[in-house]
Amino acid sequence: MAFVLPQEPVLRLRQPLRKLLEGQENAMALYPTYPLHTERLTLRPFTRGDVDGVFAYRRLDEVARYLFDHPLSREECALAVQQRITQIGLAEVDDKIILAVELSETGALIGEVSLIWRSVEARQGEVGWIFDPGYQGKGFATEAANFMLDLAFGPGDMHRVSARCDVRNEASWRLMERLGMRREAHFREHAIFKSSWDEEYIYAILWQEWRRLRHPQEEIS
Amino acid sequence: MSSLSLPIETDRLVLRTFERSDIDDLCAYHMLPTMQRYVFSRTRDEAEVACALAIMRNHVSLQRPGDTLTLAMVRKGDKILIGHVSLNWSDATAGQGEVRFCINPSYSGQGFAKEALGALLDLAFDHFRIHRIFARCDGRSHHSIKLMQQMGMRLEAHYREHALFQGEWDEELHFAILDREWQRSAKVKELPLRHRVA
């Protein structure tokens, strides 16, 4: 997967070194400067104008099947978009960055990618995605998700990033494998999901593994 | 659900709730560095062990989710406390439970932990009707790993560097077993007279 590396640093890290030197924990914070660009995609914060675009895929049964949500109404999409408008930076644990993914060429909204800060001390993150099935099979999700890994391991300075999905959601775990993630867990009947037993995969990738993928020639000391 | 009848007897052990007088036997293994290496609660001196004992003495039954039952493993004959096992009811809706175990290294390697854990799994599945039991351990804790494999538990998760534990990157394994996977002991249970036919 080829990546267009930005000419100038589009990812600005608001990380006051002074705080780090003072030994404060939680000194790290991640506020990328938007929009972010990959080869074919633009990743940007959600805006109020995205409600119809989100509704176009979140109303579908096939999209909702493996999400915790049911198919959303237009009003619920409006609420979801409203929440996402401010989810653009990581300042403390459980903060989320959720970005709209659009095709740079046409401006069409094709889905969302997310990065959640799971642990500050142990530098853990979790990535996720929801995509419009109409745009499947073109590598867009891989491109966007790979960019989120770069965000997490680069400016986010994370050590491990995980992702989870239902075992039956093959498209999702195939994507995790394409990202270079390893299957770390296969939980069987560990919870109830939508009125039946849940079966779940957890995938993860460590910083050093990501680094080796991006720079295969380099020896890591 | 019929009421829980304690203590439980196995071939060589009596499993009972903790008592105040167990402090010395508990100190004999709970303060050891080999034990401290893998436990969540720090019990480095007698005062800390006493705190742990006070907590464990309250673990006498499972009434609601979140409750824990902790049973001391007492050897028949000499009545020495050689370890303990516990069952935590982690989720009621999905019928989930977690087991933990500790054994005094002086008595390990003789199948005592296996015996106690087997009785605890019987109790969890037969009495408390739990659907799935899981157990966690450190990736380096090979005695625990071997024990869980012997119990027929499946490795469900192998987390690498997912957290910090005692100042190091943690490697954690999850083992689990479902009620239908648990092989009941070969012991034939006598049916009460009224259930016998003819």
| Tens of each residue's pLDDT in chain B, 198 residues | 557 889 999 999 999 999 999 999 999 999 998 888 888 778 889 999 999 999 999 999 999 999 999 999 999 999 999 999 999 999 999 999 999 999 999 999 999 999 999 999 999 999 999 999 999 999 999 999 999 999 999 999 999 999 998 888 999 999 999 999 997 654 555 556 666 555
| Contacts made by residues B30-36, CB under 8 angstroms, sequence distance 24+ | B30/B102, B32/B105, B34/B105, B35/B102, B35/B105
User: What pLDDT score does B197 carry?
Assistant: 59
Is A4 part of a structural domain of the chain?
Answer: no
Please list, in sequence order, all residues whose beta carbon lies within 8 angstroms of the beta carbon of residue A179, skipping any fewer than 6 positions away: A142, A145, A146, A149, A163, A205
Q: Exposed e or buried b for every residue in B59-97, given b needs 16+ CB within 10 A?
A: bbebeeeeebbbbbbbbeeeeebbbbbbbbbbbeebbbb
Answer yes or no: do B176 and A119 touch at CB < 8 A. no
CA-closest candidate to residue B96, choices B128, B118, B55? B128
How far is the C-alpha of B80 from the C-alpha of B83, rounded, in Å? 9
What is the predicted pLDDT for the residue at A25? 47
Residue B2: its pLDDT value, please?
55
CATH number at residue A148: 3.40.630.30
Record: contact B94-A189, CB cut-off 8 A: yes
User: CB under 8 Å to B26, separation ≥6 — which residues?
Assistant: B18, B49, B52, B53, B81
Yes or no, beta carbons of B160 and A206 under 8 Å apart: yes
Query: What is residue B190's predicted lDDT score, i.e. its pLDDT?
Result: 55
What per-residue confidence (pLDDT) applies to A20?
43
Chain A residues whose C-beta is within 8 A of a chain B C-beta are 119, 121-122, 124, 159-160, 162, 184-192, 197-198, 202, 204, 206
Residues on chain A touching B96 (C-beta within 8 angstroms): 190-191
* Within a domain: A1: no
Q: Is B126 on the interface with A (CB under 8 A)?
A: no
At B51 the pLDDT is 94
Residue A12, both tokens: 């600005």
pLDDT digits (tens, 9 = 90+) for B12-59: 999 999 999 999 999 999 999 888 888 877 888 999 999 999 999 999
Is residue A182 assigned to a domain? Answer: no
On whether residue A218 sits in a domain, the answer given is: no
Q: Which residues of chain A lie closer than 8 angstroms to B167, CB-CB? A: none
Question: What percent of chain B shows pLDDT beyond 90?
Answer: 81
B76 closest CA partner among B118, B53, B107, B122 = B107
| CA dihedral over A214, A114, A93, B161, signed as positive or negative | negative
Residue A16 lies in a domain: no
**Residues of chain A found within 8 Å of residue B161, distances taken between Cβ atoms:** 122, 159-160, 206
A68: number of Cβ within 10 Å: 7
Q: Does B136 touch chain A (CB under 8 A)?
A: no
**pLDDT tens by residue, chain A, 221 residues:** 445 444 444 444 444 444 444 444 445 689 999 999 999 999 999 999 999 999 999 999 999 999 999 999 999 999 999 999 999 999 999 999 999 999 999 999 999 999 999 999 999 999 999 999 999 999 999 999 999 999 999 999 999 999 999 999 999 999 999 999 999 999 999 999 998 999 999 999 999 999 999 988 876 55
What is the maximum alpha-carbon separation in chain A?
52
Residue A164 lies in a domain: no
**A219 located within any domain:** no
Q: Are B100 and B138 in contact (CB under 8 A)?
A: no
B178 touches chain A (CB under 8 A): yes
Q: What is the mean pLDDT of chain B?
A: 90
The answer to the question of residue A187 being in a domain is no
| Domain that includes residue A130, residue range | 29-159
Instruction: For residue A181, report the phi and psi dihedrals to the nearest 5 degrees.
Output: -85, 150
Contact criterion met (CB < 8 Å) for B134 and A122? no
Q: What is the pLDDT of residue B41?
A: 76
Q: Using an 8 Å Cβ cutoff, are A98 and A129 in contact?
A: no
How many domains does one find in chain A?
Answer: 1
Nearest-CA distance A160 → chain B (Å): 7
The full set of domain ranges for chain B reads 8-183
CATH class of B8-183: alpha beta
Reported ipTM exceeds the 0.85 cut? no
